[in-house]
Chain A
Amino acid sequence: MDRKNIYKGWEEQASKELRDKNLKDHFWETPEGIKVKPLYTEDDLQKINHEIGLPGLPPYTRGPRATMYTNRPWTIRQYAGFSTAEESNKFYKEGLKNGVMGLSVAFDLATHRGYDSDHPRVVADVGNAGVAIDSIEDMNLLFDGIPLDQMSVSMTMNGAVIPVLASFIASGEEQGCPREKLTGTIQNDILKEFMVRNTFIFPPKPSMRIVADIIEYTSKKMPKFNSISISGYHMQEAGANQVQELAYTLADGKEYIKSALERGLNIDEFAPRLSFFWSIGMNFFMEIAKMRAARYMWSKIVKEFKPKNDRSLALRTHCQTSGVSLMEQDAYNNIVRTTIEAMAAVMGGTQSLHTNSFDEALALPTKFSARIARNTQLIISEETGICNVIDPMAGSYYVESLTSSIVEESQKLISEIDEVGGMVKAIEMGIPKMRIEESSAKRQARVDSNEETIVGVNKYKPTEKQEINILSIDNVEVRKRQVSRLQKLKNSRDNKIVESFIEKIKNAASSDENLLEICIEASKNRCTVGEMTSAMESVFGRHNLSTKTISGVYKNTVKNDGKIDIIDNELNKFVNKKGRRPRMLVVKMGQDGHDRGAKLIATAFSDLGFDVDIGPLFQTPEEAAKQAIENDAHVIGVSTLAAGHKTLVPLLMESLKNNEASYIKVICGGVIPPDDHPFLYDLGVSKVFGPGTNIQEAAIEIINLL
């Protein structure tokens, strides 16, 4: 029998098993719009439009290195946001003893936005979500006793990338490590900041110039250092589907290449040092296919720029398991989720991997949860035998077909970006942001109406509450220490020299002199991160984001299972009693730019019939209070993800009280450890919602609250 007839035979058999159900109903349309069949066969391999090839050779679909894990497994790179240089230093030394092979530095929000710890706008941000670095002195403490010529260091820094990288290089030299020996990666991916994470400082144009400055400098002086980590991670975290993550990240990469070429660099000088960063979520095969498609597509994209060195075509990547897939409810399930995601990253051929700790939906990891996360990787690497074979998924009917579909779908999105004239233009027009927010609202609607299962959250909910020990940070104490250290620095340095460097930085910013080069010298002379940033700011200006919102997507996707009718009914009652719709101000205070949650709440609640005000990013509590009072909101919804709530919410309550406006109710949502709930309720907060809250149920609760 020929293949066609065999397949027919299967169809008949399957239809029999399905009885009265149709085989067509067993096709699955993924959130990316890809139609997945219940069965793939040899025939599907004939239809693929990408090239599979061999590992270590163009187009690198099977991996950037010829030997992959058979020679050396991926780098276990654990990232943790400890608040002070001393504590982080301790954490690094502990990790190095236990199998971690590279260091990752997460910076606090104040540093990201280029503010020193004593700046009045960052009272609640110092020490949150990472380490506070104000100057080279803090860098010296951070790497105390860690030989930088032997240890690869990855730094998640985009906004204040110049002063931070400069301080790092300067600190290395004070330690005795010349710059050409430094290894590691700086994220330096500003385009995705404008798209999703909002941790930018300057407008897009000068920001792109800074990226080029860094690529130029590192390609000439730091041959072992990755000048940029082009990141899709934060897009998926913000709600992008895998195709969007892939397409927009590659389009970002293309834009960086163009701006480096404009700078007069040769493609082979810098392309081999470009690296990538993916988020790995729960859609197992899709993630593997995404990583393979990425390598194939990148080699095609770079090829257009006519490199002579094949290494320029190879995509190397870091991966992190998905943070949004972590749930507050039934939190131990997160260990299992992270394991599955880590497996996908390994099957997809990552070069380094960070596994999240299971308590990260609640707070920073504890020693215990960090150990489990690390061990997850060690077990995959050393107990399973997975490392013994290169790219085991290659040739799978399903995985190769999926890879092909992803290539095709992402190509469409990339063409859309190309048509408007590249990523900078597209970002100015708000195209990628809008698309990502759309996906995010759709996903929430699917989860809220139980179309997508999350175990322990919308199905199989635990009957008992589990107590989980979590780590909390005393942000006030951290700030006090940082401020006094800054004071000491400012008293002991030669301020005349500092001023002369500030002038030099301003001059460099207004000419085409390399900013990194001058800032390395400035760091050595004890200029602070904040001072260097404001020198550049005086030339470039600080970028303000114009917030665009979407509407209707949530309502169109959600299935009405009766809750919508209840909400409509409650809303009518409310309007008849109060003379207007419930009005909610959604605010993000402090320097945390992750606005996915806030945007999602805003669009979903307005779709449900609320009047929703949104506040500008980076508001202070006083500004938020003023806005709520002026707009006469019934309730302020505080979205908080970066532990700022312990300082910011008390200030907000106080500000309302000072303005005789305590009649305005306050609710909080986001990443808030359960241990902090009593603290917030004592302050007068009416309700605290965690991650994974069903929005419709929350809406009903809020109407009743008012």
Chain B
Amino acid sequence: MKLKSYLKLFKISNIDFSKEIGISSVSLSRYISGERLPEKKILNKIFKLTNGSVDANDFFLSSSPSRDLSEIHKKEIKKMVLNIRGGKLKDLAKAITLVESSLKLHNAQADFLLSKLKQNKNSLRVGITGVPGVGKSTFIETFGMSLIDLGFKVAVLAIDPSSKRTGGSILGDKTRMMKLSVNKNAFIRPSPSQGNLGGVAKKTSESIRCLEEAGFNIIFIETMGVGQAETTVYDMVDIFLVLLLPSGGDELQGIKKGIIEMADVIIINKADGNLKNTAEITMLEYKNAQNMISNIREDISPEVFLCSSTESIGITKIWNFIKKFEKIRRDSGSFYKTRIQQQTKAIWRNILLQSQDYIENNLKYNDSVKKIIKDVEKNNFDVNNASKIIFDFILKRNT
């Protein structure tokens, strides 16, 4: 990292640091500003003193220009933040677009925007998953409308699959949320997964913060229920709902057992008409199975409910349980503790994603790397050695 950032992080003054290295504070300022380059001996000292945090590269490479926003951009973003707080949907929508964008400039704008947002401790983040056709959107429509009647502001982030072949997508969630989508206390944003489920999840947690800034206090995150995305979504919500159809085991429904194990609430949906009996049997099966699953939350056990979104059955019971869940966990402090743990997880997730992105979009195109790989293919180079050398590229990468 840059020396300037290091000193700031550990709150070390320039004078103290210069004394330790044995140079004048003026020289140190010149090194920091980039006016002058430190010689080898000084570099070594700095490297040792900072436990390797600041190395030679940090003096030679300037930071990538796109990270620095112009004042005009900053002003725009500040205005955007004010508008979001003022309840302008347009600005909220644009902010989410910045968060989701693949452009470097947009990401820098999004980072700046996020740095201006407050922490919201009062919101409730609700993850909802289930296989296509289980009735997630219809459930959110009914549930969301009843919450709005109670005075809440409800937001929905829906992650829809993008086609692997063409990259395009159809986002039809709002056709199943007709009342909610036109209500002024609701905001629904479907997002294409762009084939990168983990990546979208990162963006989703940032979108949640934008929504909270706009005053939405119940936020649903809807995913497809087929694997990858759910674990990451689980790590950004306060409570996790899994919707199931009457009848059939997990395998039959195409839902992963691991996902069921994460559930705080299991909802047997579409318990109406001639499916009612089957739904009750399914509920019993899951209730029995719950006894064998170790609880993931220390203070409250998961529960199973029957629900019919079309006949509004079960909605009140589910809401009562969610309220109980929230109260117990807030009172015990585990609610907020989990959020803090989630933030740490988010850091590591972001780092993994960034490395992945760097590998896919830069490293693989590096001429030396390409040469090394070719040599390995020709048996001129050993795999372990090659990996070590290539990994050094990541270490030296300056961000």
State the A residues within 8 Å of B (CB): 544-549, 551-552, 555, 571, 575, 578-581, 602-603, 605-617, 623, 626-627, 629-632, 659-661
B89 touches A614 (CB 8 A): no
A612 CB contact (under 8 Å) in B103, B168, B188: B168
A555 CB contact (under 8 Å) in B89, B166, B171: B166
Min CB distance, A591 to chain B, in Å?
14
Contacts of A571 in B (CB 8 A): 167
Question: Bound complex: CA of A548 vs CA of B173, how far in Å?
Answer: 10
B169 touches A606 (CB 8 A): yes
A632 touches B166 (CB 8 A): no
Question: Bound complex: CA of A632 vs CA of B190, how far in Å?
Answer: 10
A609 CB contact (under 8 Å) in B166, B172, B181: B166
B170 CB contact (under 8 Å) in A555, A602, A631: A602
Question: Bound complex: CA of A602 vs CA of B160, how far in Å?
Answer: 15
B172 touches A614 (CB 8 A): yes
Which bucket holds chain B's interface residue count?
35 or more
Min CB distance, A652 to chain B, in Å?
14
Min CB distance, B27 to chain A, in Å?
43
The 4 A-B residue pairs with the shortest CB-CB distance, nearest first, are: A579-B101, A579-B103, A547-B175, A606-B168
Question: Bound complex: CA of A547 vs CA of B138, how far in Å?
Answer: 11
B90 touches A659 (CB 8 A): yes
B85 within 8 A of A: no
B166 CB contact (under 8 Å) in A608, A615, A626: A608
Contacts of A630 in B (CB 8 A): 89, 92-93, 187-189
Contacts of A603 in B (CB 8 A): 170
**Best-buried of A552, A578, A613 by chain B (most CB within 10 Å):** A613
Q: A608-B166, A631-B171 are known; give 14 further A-B pairs, CB within 8 A.
A: A546-B138, A546-B175, A551-B163, A552-B165, A555-B165, A571-B167, A578-B101, A581-B192, A606-B166, A614-B174, A616-B175, A623-B181, A631-B189, A661-B90
**Best-buried of B90, B96, B162, B168 by chain A (most CB within 10 Å):** B168
Contacts of B166 in A (CB 8 A): 555, 606-609
27 A/B residue pairs, CB under 8 Å, sorted by A: A551-B170, A552-B163, A575-B102, A578-B101, A579-B101, A579-B102, A579-B103, A579-B106, A580-B97, A581-B167, A603-B170, A605-B168, A606-B163, A609-B166, A609-B168, A612-B170, A614-B170, A615-B175, A616-B178, A617-B175, A630-B92, A630-B187, A631-B190, A632-B94, A632-B96, A659-B90, A660-B90
- Known A-B contacts A615-B174, A629-B93; A607 and B103 likewise in contact (beta carbons under 8 Å): no
Question: Bound complex: CA of A581 vs CA of B101, how far in Å?
Answer: 9
Contacts of A632 in B (CB 8 A): 93-94, 96-97
B276 within 8 A of A: no
B100 within 8 A of A: yes
B187 touches A613 (CB 8 A): no
Question: Bound complex: CA of A545 vs CA of B97, how far in Å?
Answer: 29
- Known A-B contacts A623-B182, A632-B94; A607 and B168 likewise in contact (beta carbons under 8 Å): yes
B97 touches A612 (CB 8 A): no
**Chain B residue with the shortest CB-CB distance to A604:** B168
- Known A-B contacts A579-B103, A623-B182; A608 and B168 likewise in contact (beta carbons under 8 Å): yes
Min CB distance, A344 to chain B, in Å?
36
B176 within 8 A of A: yes
Residues 38-90 (chain B) with a chain A CB within 8 angstroms: 89-90
Min CB distance, A251 to chain B, in Å?
20
**Chain B residue with the shortest CB-CB distance to A619:** B182
A549 touches B170 (CB 8 A): yes
Question: Bound complex: CA of A546 vs CA of B141, how far in Å?
Answer: 12
- Known A-B contacts A613-B174, A631-B93, A631-B190; A626 and B182 likewise in contact (beta carbons under 8 Å): yes
Min CB distance, B135 to chain A, in Å?
9
Contacts of A581 in B (CB 8 A): 167-168, 192
State the B residues within 8 Å of A (CB): 89-90, 92-94, 96-97, 100-103, 106, 137-138, 162-163, 165-172, 174-176, 178, 181-182, 187-190, 192
**Chain B residue with the shortest CB-CB distance to A547:** B175
Contacts of A623 in B (CB 8 A): 181-182
Question: Bound complex: CA of A400 vs CA of B167, how far in Å?
Answer: 47
Question: Bound complex: CA of A660 vs CA of B79, how far in Å?
Answer: 15
Question: Bound complex: CA of A631 vs CA of B190, how far in Å?
Answer: 7
A578 touches B175 (CB 8 A): no
Question: Bound complex: CA of A546 vs CA of B133, how far in Å?
Answer: 11
Contacts of A580 in B (CB 8 A): 97, 100-102
Min CB distance, B144 to chain A, in Å?
14
Question: Bound complex: CA of A621 vs CA of B172, how far in Å?
Answer: 18
Min CB distance, A700 to chain B, in Å?
15
B175 touches A611 (CB 8 A): no
Contacts of B163 in A (CB 8 A): 551-552, 606-607
**Chain A residue with the shortest CB-CB distance to B177:** A616
A614 touches B171 (CB 8 A): yes
Contacts of B170 in A (CB 8 A): 549, 551, 602-603, 606, 612, 614
Question: Bound complex: CA of A657 vs CA of B103, how far in Å?
Answer: 28
Question: Bound complex: CA of A546 vs CA of B93, how far in Å?
Answer: 25
Question: Bound complex: CA of A661 vs CA of B172, how far in Å?
Answer: 22
Question: Bound complex: CA of A631 vs CA of B174, how far in Å?
Answer: 10
Question: Bound complex: CA of A661 vs CA of B97, how far in Å?
Answer: 15
A626 touches B171 (CB 8 A): no
Contacts of A608 in B (CB 8 A): 166, 168
Question: Bound complex: CA of A659 vs CA of B87, how far in Å?
Answer: 12
A578 CB contact (under 8 Å) in B103, B165, B171, B189: B103
**Chain A residue with the shortest CB-CB distance to B171:** A613
Min CB distance, A246 to chain B, in Å?
29
A629 touches B89 (CB 8 A): yes
Question: Bound complex: CA of A617 vs CA of B93, how far in Å?
Answer: 23
**Best-buried of B102, B106, B170, B172 by chain A (most CB within 10 Å):** B170
Contacts of B100 in A (CB 8 A): 580
Contacts of A602 in B (CB 8 A): 170, 172
Contacts of B176 in A (CB 8 A): 546-547
Min CB distance, B211 to chain A, in Å?
11
Question: Bound complex: CA of A626 vs CA of B171, how far in Å?
Answer: 15
Min CB distance, A638 to chain B, in Å?
16
Contacts of A547 in B (CB 8 A): 172, 175-176
Question: Bound complex: CA of A613 vs CA of B169, how far in Å?
Answer: 8
A611 touches B172 (CB 8 A): no
A626 touches B89 (CB 8 A): yes
B175 touches A545 (CB 8 A): yes
A613 touches B190 (CB 8 A): yes
A610 touches B168 (CB 8 A): yes
- Known A-B contacts A547-B175, A580-B97; A627 and B168 likewise in contact (beta carbons under 8 Å): no
**Chain A residue with the shortest CB-CB distance to B91:** A660
Question: Bound complex: CA of A546 vs CA of B175, how far in Å?
Answer: 6
Min CB distance, B136 to chain A, in Å?
12
Contacts of B168 in A (CB 8 A): 581, 605-612
Question: Bound complex: CA of A152 vs CA of B381, how far in Å?
Answer: 91
Contacts of B181 in A (CB 8 A): 616, 623, 626-627
Question: Bound complex: CA of A616 vs CA of B93, how far in Å?
Answer: 20
Contacts of B171 in A (CB 8 A): 611-614, 631
Min CB distance, A593 to chain B, in Å?
13
**Chain B residue with the shortest CB-CB distance to A430:** B133
Question: Bound complex: CA of A634 vs CA of B103, how far in Å?
Answer: 16
Question: Bound complex: CA of A23 vs CA of B180, how far in Å?
Answer: 60
Question: Bound complex: CA of A321 vs CA of B171, how far in Å?
Answer: 35
Contacts of B174 in A (CB 8 A): 613-616, 627
Contacts of B175 in A (CB 8 A): 545-547, 614-617
Question: Bound complex: CA of A224 vs CA of B273, how far in Å?
Answer: 38
Contacts of A629 in B (CB 8 A): 89-90, 93
Question: Bound complex: CA of A404 vs CA of B233, how far in Å?
Answer: 55
Contacts of A626 in B (CB 8 A): 89, 181-182
A609 touches B167 (CB 8 A): yes
Question: Bound complex: CA of A613 vs CA of B190, how far in Å?
Answer: 8
Contacts of A548 in B (CB 8 A): 172
Min CB distance, B265 to chain A, in Å?
23
Contacts of A551 in B (CB 8 A): 163, 170
**Chain A residue with the shortest CB-CB distance to B138:** A546
Question: Bound complex: CA of A629 vs CA of B83, how far in Å?
Answer: 14
